[in-house]
Structure 1
Amino acid sequence: MTIATELASPSPSAAAASSASSADSASGAAPAVPPLLVPKGEYPRPDLDRSERWQSLNGEWDFSSIDGEARITVPFAWETPASGIERTWLEAATYRRALAVPASWADARVVLCFGAVHHRATVSIDGVVVGTHVGGYTSFEFDVTSHLTAGRDAVLEVAVESPADKRSIVHGKQRSIPRDDYDGVSFTPTSGIWQSVWVEARGRTYARSVTLRGDSLKGIDVAVELAGDAPAGAAVRTRVLGEGAAPAAGVATDARAESATDAAGGLHPVDAELRLTADAAGRASGRLEIGSPQLWSPADPHLYRVEVIVGEGAGADRVVATTGLRSLEWNDGGLRLNGDRLYLRGVLDQGYWPETGLTAPSDEALLADLDLARELGYTMVRKHLKLEEPRWLHRADELGMLVWAEPAAPSRFSPEAAALFEDQLEPMVRRDGNHPSIVVWGLYNEEWGLDWDIPGSRRRAEAAAHAYDTMAALDHTRPLVENSGWAHVKSDLVDWHYYEPDPATWAENVRDLATGVREAFPVKLGPDFVVDKSLYGSDEFPRTGVPLLNSEYGEGYTSLERAWHLRWQTQELRRHDRYSGYVYTELADVEHENAGLLDADRRRKDWGGLRPADVNADTVLVVDLVPRAAGADIEVPLEAFELTVRVSHHGADAVAGRVEAAWIAAGAPLPASPHGEASSAAVPAVSPFVLGAPVTLTIEPPAASARLALFFVDETDAVRARSYLDAAPVEAPNRRGARPAPTPAP
């Protein structure tokens, strides 16, 4: 299970008395290491902010295993060099460190928080088990008030089990022994503590969870679940804060919070306020009506900060959660954001780093990947088989970067493995559901955990459908994909993964999948294992009306070839208005997998003069030809020829203009603007999301190998799209010395 199990502790009144007496005897706050002097010392939950009173527990811990005693740096998995251990296939270890909370927390409840620990964690304080948690990707916390005395040291231990045989547990792309069927695309495991650990003070009765949804576009639906001393009947106040708003009067804060408030400029206007009373189960809900709602979108990622206060006076609890007003629709074959057509231009991101594995080496590195994706022209990131840190999601909210979120899965099917997979859905939604940037919830990927056999197994098909139903009951404000890639049985999107090196075959199959002529396509599951996979896992799945999109593609052995395929394969996806988006694979290399536009250290590769941002722009050129080879789209022409070009436009309004072309030096980067040697007739108005009519240019031949720069220029002479063709000799591949093919046996 991924839901944490917290062991029984003394009654709240006894715990409060104990804390109060210890505060009297304590001389003052325990010394704390400044957060920014420890690895990843930033507050881990800016989207659910309690940074007024918290301590990071990242840094050096004692580490015990079958190898003996050592020191480990948290939060880096024990397989990574950054951890100081760098030990693969270690299956169990115990972390240990001193823990002390300030005397000023004596009247608070203290909660110990873990970002993620793979796979089973047993947490103890001074030898007393306070709780256990199973599930390597989900966050968890324990109220440890009764186990600590403010101002005094305690010993915190985390015993971790991480089996080498991961096939029946949630592990995503971590390598397993025995090996997974998909071992060729698996990486070094991530074991132990691999996300931040921290402790924070909360009110005597506190908000255990805050759920915000803004899909009404008029207000924020708030649901608060309480814990602590007296959840039933507790008073809950919620309000929307302006920038830099101070805590409400009467809510206890420490000196750091007060100084931060002063620096921010004090109180700002409050847009909405709501007072609630929790029911007998400690739950309260209502809607914060927004007077002049401002919607969240990639173009204007406006966020609302919602303050939640539980109780009154010094023991009150305060937390500030963040969300946005935005709605998603998926019907009539298309996606819509706030009522407007949405086309997803995405890149797959596996969130791995060379020295630190699944954990970003720093906050700067974590957030930089979003900026890199945007620089490459992408409007969405598919975070692949990993629940990324909340700081990353919060930054996506701020930037307006869309996110396709999906959990990891087991690799082998059994009812028990399917249950473990579903156990992580509720914690995933509880932690991440407030983020407006998340526009797709993915579930299974390519039938991993379903033995690649939905069509041939009723039980496996039912498991995929059951995961969909489970997720829909938790949150259906976004479209759900029950099995990304193929064999859909119950899904809000029909997505497909297809890798094809031949441009003509790619163009044909992309067209036939769009028109419905084709439903199946070849998938190479191993060096000698190719199967035909269908978009659909049942005859009952509707063939029309459900949005269709690609969610994995890309080809090429070298970086130059990959850039070439990116250019041509993406234009074929843009050619067909039936599609609602695509996801290029991938952002950055991971270990032996060299499919990234960037290398593993996030350095640019040789794209041969291509600017990926041109390929992924709102407006692009679609050229009517089948290219021959990377660096030689066409042979060097010997006489004038005609070139047919179309415009694909995904802006808000129609565009019109002309296409211009000019030869430049072979391999040269495109100039900022054309110096037209050839120009098309006027391009009639191109409506958004409708491929424009063909226009033809007559191109004079170059003197030698050259690059034909292509521009779409609108009626104001602004360049709206850029592409190019390479003209060069195409030689047959050198196969000298190849062994003759074996003669078949009679």
Structure 2
Amino acid sequence: MKQLLTRWGKTLDEEHVLEEYPRPLLVRKSYINLNGAWEYGFTKEFKRPAQFEGKIVVPFSPESTLSGVGRQLKPDEYLWYRKTFLVSFDMFQKEKLRRLLHFGAVDQSCVVYINGREAVRHTGGYLPFETDITDYLTEGENEILVSVKDLSDTSYHSRGKQKLKRGGMFYTAQSGIWQTVWMEDVPGEYIQKITARPDLDAGKVRITVTSEKSCAVEIEVRKPGIYEEPLRKPEDVFGEVETLEDWGHGTGRTNEEIVIHLPYIYPWTCETPYLYYFTVKMGDDTADSYFAMRTFTIEADKAGLPRICLNHKVQYQKGVLDQGYWPDGLYTAPSDEALIFDIQSMKNMGFNMLRKHLKIEPQRWYYHCDRLGMVVWQDMVNGGRMYKHWFVTYGATALSWRNLKIKDGYTRLLSREDKAGRLEFVKEMKETIALLKGHPSIAAWVIFNEGWGQFQTADMTDIARKEDPDRLVDQASGWFDQEGGDFQSIHNYFFRLRIRPEERRATVLSEFGGYSMRSEGHSACLTQYGYGIYTDVSQLNRAYVKLQEDVEKLIPEGLCASVYTQLSDVEEEVNGIFTYDREVLKIRGTCI
């Protein structure tokens, strides 16, 4: 496979790697970024390496070229990381602070040691975790040691599109630390979480501040704004808040809902993505967050057809499937600008929705969707044992065309025989919703995709609705529809486009297109995968325009959303609007 680099990867400064504040929904002044050079080593046994092998650039996985390693972690190996940092205890004792260590994501399971003592264990390669390391610290130099194990697609854990033997619609497996590692100093009693639940119709917002003990809390809401430039550092937010007038005020206790009525409502839309920033004060701790006033619903139009509505107005959601892969960073974008580029480029092309496919991004990606006005459908990350594609892909495709329903009780055929794997999926689905539901751009949760690891679909839908009653649910994207959720969710790559609208659920074409074309010099592989192969840019563009016109003809019949496959090429799958390196915009046939 040819190694491609993005423009951002080419200019990566290893001394300043992804330094933007990583948690936009809870911003605190204290921020110590640990990205950059760490030591690394591979072992066969669960034992610290006698000698480390070299430097790895965190948070890029060892399989990626930007990490400086370019080596696959195998299921029978362990990957070790080492980093040192300095601590002055004078500050801690004087201000009575605690130090928290955060990992954005580590794939798949890890153990974290501080100065040789185990501090925390975590499993779940797509979700963040933190631990209080204060009691493990010493004056002067301190050591972080992380041991990682990744079974990838040899087990039932969540893995998305990763495969040890990549090919076709499955891509290079990656492992280890792949999101920002950072620390912060907090008071003894500190704000653990902030959850804002907007109520557009009532003109109010419900805010819950979570802390270990019940504490008095004060909240000040600020005048909404549209943020054309992203906030990058904690002081950016605090500086903005200092100069803005108060637009709402609330007091109460932590762990209880505080209702704040807003004097004027600026609704969030794709054209006017207003965000309300607010400040939370609790004892010696202060944090910033934001929310937006908007609501996504299914409502009948004048013809009685169910439609997706934003703020009670029909919104056709024209979307793109977004895998979130990069040729140089794999799961990790080489820069904040790269994340913005993908989102803004799709918006410039007339798309108003991205379906984040089988991956959870760093929270800054969702923040950019929030501030730029891009709707998001968020997939849960799929897991389960090795998929039986003769059943879940080829057979299911044919049956779906005939509108034949398949029950989800075939746990062996759907690769969900492991009870531990099913319980893990439920746990991670809840954690995913809790992590991301504060982002106003997210319109829908997509629970299962094409039967990959699908089980107890109705129960999973109920759990998702309980965790977040304010969003739409696509319970089964593609096929294995169990007639629940808010969408009749169709995938169509091979057949004539047609729909059969329902009375209650909105009809969505949640995957289609996938027209493929290699671009010489910008393709990673000689082999080509896609749905419809083209060798000429003009031919590809004509076919794409014709296909989009055919889709648009279905809108009056009841089609509510469409998701074109896909935003960029990924390895063999060269059906992207952009090439894998984001240098050629194939659908328009121009270089940018």
Q: TM-score range by the shorter chain?
A: 0.7 to 0.9
Worse-matched range after superposition: 114-123 or 426-435? 426-435
Shift in alpha-carbon separation, 1:399–1:258, aligned structure 2, 3 A = closer
Tell me how far apart the structure 2 counterparts of residues 400 and 164 of structure 1 sit (CA, whole Å). Answer: 34
Give the equivalent residue in structure 1 for 2:32.
Answer: 55
Per-residue CA shift, 1:20-70, capped at 9, x if unaligned?
A: xxxxxxxxxxxxxxx9942111111123212x1110011111112138622
What is the SS of the residue equivalent to 1:63?
strand
Map 1:478-557 to 2 at 5 A.
Answer: 478-489=471-482, 490-500=484-494, 506=496, 510-511=497-498, 513-514=499-500, 543-554=502-513, 555=515, 556-557=532-533
Tell me how far apart the structure 1 counterparts of residues 432 and 316 of structure 2 sit (CA, whole Å). Answer: 25
* Correspondence for 1:580 among 552, 560, 565: 560
Tell me if the contact between 1:58 and 1:73 (Cα under 8 Å) persists in the aligned partners.
yes
Map 1:158-197 to 2 at 5 A.
Answer: 158-176=146-164, 184-197=168-181
What is the SS of the residue equivalent to 1:573?
helix
Give the equivalent residue in structure 1 for 2:247.
Answer: 271
Give the equivalent residue in structure 2 for 1:423.
Answer: 427
What is the SS of the residue equivalent to 1:100?
strand
What is the SS of the residue equivalent to 2:469?
coil
Tell me if the contact between 2:106 and 2:126 (Cα under 8 Å) persists in the aligned partners.
yes
Tell me how far apart the structure 2 counterparts of residues 433 and 317 of structure 1 sit (CA, whole Å). Answer: 23
The gaps in structure 1 that reach 5 residues or longer are 1-34, 245-255, 451-459, 516-542, 612-746
1:320 aligns with 2:288: yes
What is the SS of the residue equivalent to 2:192?
strand
Shift in alpha-carbon separation, 1:606–1:173, aligned structure 2, 3 A = closer
Tell me how far apart the structure 2 counterparts of residues 375 and 49 of structure 1 sit (CA, whole Å). Answer: 29
Amino acid at match of 1:348: L
Tell me if the contact between 2:474 and 2:486 (Cα under 8 Å) persists in the aligned partners.
yes
Tell me how far apart the structure 1 counterparts of residues 235 and 371 of structure 2 sit (CA, whole Å). Answer: 25
Tell me if the contact between 2:27 and 2:234 (Cα under 8 Å) persists in the aligned partners.
no
Worse-matched range after superposition: 561-570 or 319-328? 561-570
Tell me how far apart the structure 1 counterparts of residues 320 and 236 of structure 2 sit (CA, whole Å). Answer: 41
Worse-matched range after superposition: 362-371 or 420-429? 420-429
Tell me how far apart the structure 2 counterparts of residues 257 and 169 of structure 1 sit (CA, whole Å). Answer: 35
Map 1:237-636 to 2 at 5 A.
Answer: 237-242=218-223, 264=240, 266-278=242-254, 283-311=255-283, 316-332=284-300, 333-411=306-384, 412-414=415-417, 415-450=419-454, 460=455, 463-489=456-482, 490-500=484-494, 506=496, 510-511=497-498, 513-514=499-500, 543-554=502-513, 555=515, 556-558=532-534, 559-576=537-554, 577=556, 578-607=558-587
Per-residue CA shift, 1:367-414, capped at 9, x if unaligned?
A: 111111112211011111111111111111111111111121114312
**TM-score under structure 1 length normalisation:** 0.64
Tell me how far apart the structure 2 counterparts of residues 235 and 393 of structure 1 sit (CA, whole Å). Answer: 30
* Correspondence for 1:136 among 113, 121, 125: 125
The Cα shift of 1:596 comes to 0.3
Tell me if the contact between 2:25 and 2:194 (Cα under 8 Å) persists in the aligned partners.
no
Tell me how far apart the structure 1 counterparts of residues 32 and 354 of structure 2 sit (CA, whole Å). Answer: 31
Tell me how far apart the structure 2 counterparts of residues 471 and 552 of structure 1 sit (CA, whole Å). Answer: 22
Tell me if the contact between 1:351 and 1:383 (Cα under 8 Å) persists in the aligned partners.
yes
* Correspondence for 1:93 among 79, 96, 99: 79
* Number of residue equivalences: 501
Tell me how far apart the structure 2 counterparts of residues 260 and 289 of structure 1 sit (CA, whole Å). Answer: 23
Tell me if the contact between 1:72 and 1:78 (Cα under 8 Å) persists in the aligned partners.
yes
Per-residue CA shift, 1:606-646, capped at 9, x if unaligned?
A: 447799xxxxxxxxxxxxxxxxxxxxxxxxxxxxxxxxxxx
The Cα shift of 1:100 comes to 2.9
Tell me how far apart the structure 2 counterparts of residues 295 and 260 of structure 1 sit (CA, whole Å). Answer: 21
Amino acid at match of 1:201: D
Amino acid at match of 2:20: E
Amino acid at match of 1:492: D
Tell me how far apart the structure 2 counterparts of residues 336 and 226 of structure 1 sit (CA, whole Å). Answer: 35
Amino acid at match of 2:250: L
The Cα shift of 1:421 comes to 1.6
Greater C-alpha Rg: 1
> What is the percentage of aligned positions where both structures have the same residue?
30
1:208 aligns with 2:162: no
**TM-score under structure 2 length normalisation:** 0.80
Shift in alpha-carbon separation, 1:491–1:162, aligned structure 2, 3 A = same
More relative contact order in 1 or in 2 (CA 8 Å, sep 6+)? Answer: 2
Shift in alpha-carbon separation, 1:164–1:343, aligned structure 2, 3 A = closer
Shift in alpha-carbon separation, 1:242–1:146, aligned structure 2, 3 A = farther
Tell me how far apart the structure 2 counterparts of residues 157 and 430 of structure 1 sit (CA, whole Å). Answer: 28
Amino acid at match of 2:111: T
Tell me how far apart the structure 2 counterparts of residues 215 and 497 of structure 1 sit (CA, whole Å). Answer: 33
What is the SS of the residue equivalent to 2:246?
coil
What is the SS of the residue equivalent to 1:378?
coil
